[in-house]
Chain A
Amino acid sequence: MVVLSLRTAPTRALELAGVTPDRLAQLAQREIAALPVRHGGRAAALGDFFAVKGERAARVRVDGDLRLAEGLGAGMTGGELVVEGHAGRDVGVAMTGGAIEVRGDAGDNAGGAHPGAARGMVGGEIVIRGNAGDDAGARMRRGLVVVTGDAGRGTGRGMIAGTAVVFGAIGPDAGRWTKRGSIVACGPVARPATFRYACTYRPPHVRVLLLYLRERRGLDVVERWITGRYDRYSGDLAELGKGEILQWAGE
């Protein structure tokens, strides 16, 4: 395992895009410390901010308060990244595979897309054990984003497919412009008017998914969410309309 421990706290945005487990798996300790990052828009090295332990491993742990760190795990293709603490914006942007776990809050656009890109995340899993900012899972094409706390505005905005699960509350504009894909809301969700109610039922894939999250990812999933009924809203009807918001409706 490679462990990156924050030793110099950034004072501005610290862009970490490209510091991904699949890349670290190829590099020696010194090469990892020399990886280029940007601090407040200026070039710097990863080693200027982090103490590096371990090398050539696709399992990476990052320790410290990383609220100013942007793009953790962005574009990663495989491996495992664990963030012990809060993470900044753009966690796992445009990732294609592997797993990210944030043991704290994450900023905006987790699992989302690069500015102007047609699609965001196309594979892999992001678990945020805390709250997420706005636009979690925005424009995702495939993959899974799980937020155990609350999620902000525009969760799953413009989703092409994939799944976003939020255990807490979801802010306004969830699923706006969604083509396909699922937003599973265990708590309250501010639903756009362009989603239309279909039925209240027990979706079997939600059960499989939540059991997977509990048993394989160790998340604290409440039994009544697994066995319960969900209101299905189809949308966005201003788009393809093959997406859904599944809102937990009771046991």
Chain B
Amino acid sequence: MSVLFLTMDKESLPEQLIVRLGQTVLTCPTTACFDGLPAALDRLAVGKALRVFADGFQGSKVIGGRRYWRVPVMEGEFLIEEAFGMQKGVGGGNFLILAEHADAALAAAEAAVLAMTNCPGVILPFPGGVVRSGSKVGSQRYKNMLATTNEAFSPTLRAVAPSALPEGVNSVLEIVLDGTDAPSIEAAMRVGIRAACLGGVRSISAGNYGGKLGPHHFPLRVIMGNAGKPA
């Protein structure tokens, strides 16, 4: 199993990795932990930090030029690579599934998630891969909020706020993708969008955040290979 960790900035990744690997992978029976980005120049000494869990009973091995730490545990032995690679990734790729009702939206979203599960270099960071509370950047009322509800796509606000929802749409779910690079995200979006086109789905859109979310933009028509043509 390969896992991709993303943080908003470079500084918080080492701490997050140490805490999360220590609490979830080290504790989990039969696991071992290996670096998936050996070519990355930025190296985080995660195994080196976690080895002290062994309280002096740790040992190390160099195999094929890579150093591993052996941590004796009750189940047997936990093996973790000394250093893990860090590189700049891309976060926040997304598309919206606009459906006639919540059941259809969820069925389409789950089909998309299933189809994207094996796409390399991409994770779906939210539970189950599906987001019901797609957001907009900032707030129109509360200054300290970084993100608030996306009223343009909230069906219950259709009558009281400017709405982006076509007629007949009563539920919207979002798929959010983070990845190692933009092409990986685009490839996964293509797979996911195709899989999401099931009965009860009226259209596929995306939260474009006025282009303010970050430097990478994923225009759906370009991704799906029919730029300029109607959806």
Q: Is the CB of A209 within 8 A of B63?
A: yes
Contact B64 A201 (CB under 8 A): no
Provide the residues of chain B in CB contact with A212, threshold 8 Å.
Answer: 63-64
Separation in Å of the B79 CB from the closest CB of chain A? 4
A208 touches B76 (CB 8 A): no
Chain B residues within an 8 Å CB radius of A157? none
* Chain B facing A: main interface SS: strand
With both beta carbons as reference points, the residue of chain B lying nearest to A242 in the complex is identified as: B59
B70 and A205 form a contact (CB under 8 A): yes
- The digit string for A163-186, where 1 denotes a CB below 8 A from any CB of B, is 100000000000000001010000
- Proximity string of chain A (120-160) to chain B, C-beta cutoff 8 Å, 1 when within and 0 when not: 00000000000000000000001010000000000000000
Q: Is B68 an interface residue (CB 8 A)?
A: yes
Q: Kindly state the separation between the CA atoms of A180 and B62 in the bound complex, as whole angstroms.
A: 14
CB of B181 closer than 8 Å to a CB of A:
no
Interface assignment of A202: CB less than 8 Å from any CB of chain B:
yes
The listed residue (A144, A180, A204, A216) touching B79 by CB distance below 8 A is A204
Residue from B61, B62, B70 with most neighbouring chain A CB atoms (10 Å)? B61
Q: Is the CB of A205 within 8 A of B64?
A: no
Out of A142, A202, A242, name the residue touching B76 (CB < 8 Å). A202
Distance in angstroms between the alpha carbons of A201 and B79 in the assembled complex: 14
User: Smallest distance from the beta carbon of B65 to chain A beta carbons, Å?
Assistant: 10
The A-B contact count (CB < 8 A) is 35
A29 smallest CB distance to B (angstroms): 31
Check if B77 is an interface residue, CB within 8 A of chain A: yes
Compute how far the CA of A242 lies from the CA of B54 in the bound complex, rounded to whole angstroms. Answer: 13
Q: Which residues in chain B, 51-96, are within 8 Å of chain A measured between CB atoms? A: 59, 61-64, 68, 70, 76-79
Q: Tell me if A192 is interfacial: C-beta within 8 Å of chain B.
A: no
- B residues in contact with A216, CB < 8 Å: 64
Tell yes or no: A188 within 8 A of B by CB: no
Q: Give the size of the chain B interface in residues (CB under 8 angstroms).
A: 12
A205 touches B76 (CB 8 A): no
CB <8 Å contact, B61 and A209: yes
| Complex alpha-carbon distance, A212 and B62, angstroms | 11
- Given A182-B61, A209-B63, does the pair A201, B68 have CB atoms closer than 8 Å? no
CB pair A208 B77 closer than 8 Å = no
Task: Kindly supply a per-residue 1/0 record for chain A positions 207-251, scoring 1 wherever the CB is within 8 Å of any chain B CB and 0 otherwise.
Answer: 011001000100000000000000000000000001000000000
Closest beta carbon of chain B to A164's beta carbon, Å: 12
Check B40 for interface membership: any CB of A closer than 8 A: no
Question: Could you say which residues of chain B place their CB within 8 Å of the CB of A36?
Answer: none
Q: Given A201-B76, A204-B79, are A180 and B64 neighbors across the interface (CB < 8 Å)?
A: no
How far does the Cβ of B68 sit from chain A's closest Cβ, in whole Å?
6
Complex interface bits, B197-210 against A, C-beta within 8 A gives 1, otherwise 0: 00000000000000
Q: Determine if B32 is an interface residue (Cβ-Cβ < 8 Å).
A: yes
Q: Which residue of A lies closest to B61 (CB)?
A: A205
Task: Tell yes or no: A85 within 8 A of B by CB.
Answer: no
| A203 contacts B by Cβ under 8 Å | yes
Q: List 18 A-B contacts (CB under 8 A).
A: A142-B62, A144-B62, A144-B63, A180-B59, A182-B61, A199-B76, A202-B76, A203-B76, A204-B70, A204-B76, A204-B77, A205-B68, A205-B77, A208-B32, A208-B63, A208-B68, A209-B61, A242-B59
Q: A: which residues have CB within 8 A of B?
A: 142, 144, 163, 180, 182, 199, 201-205, 208-209, 212, 216, 242
The 4 nearest A-B residue pairs measured at CB: A204-B79, A201-B76, A204-B32, A212-B64
Identify 17 new A-B residue pairs, CB closer than 8 A, beyond the known A163-B61, A203-B77, A208-B32: A144-B62, A144-B63, A180-B59, A182-B61, A201-B76, A203-B76, A204-B77, A204-B78, A204-B79, A205-B61, A205-B70, A205-B77, A208-B61, A208-B63, A208-B79, A209-B63, A212-B64
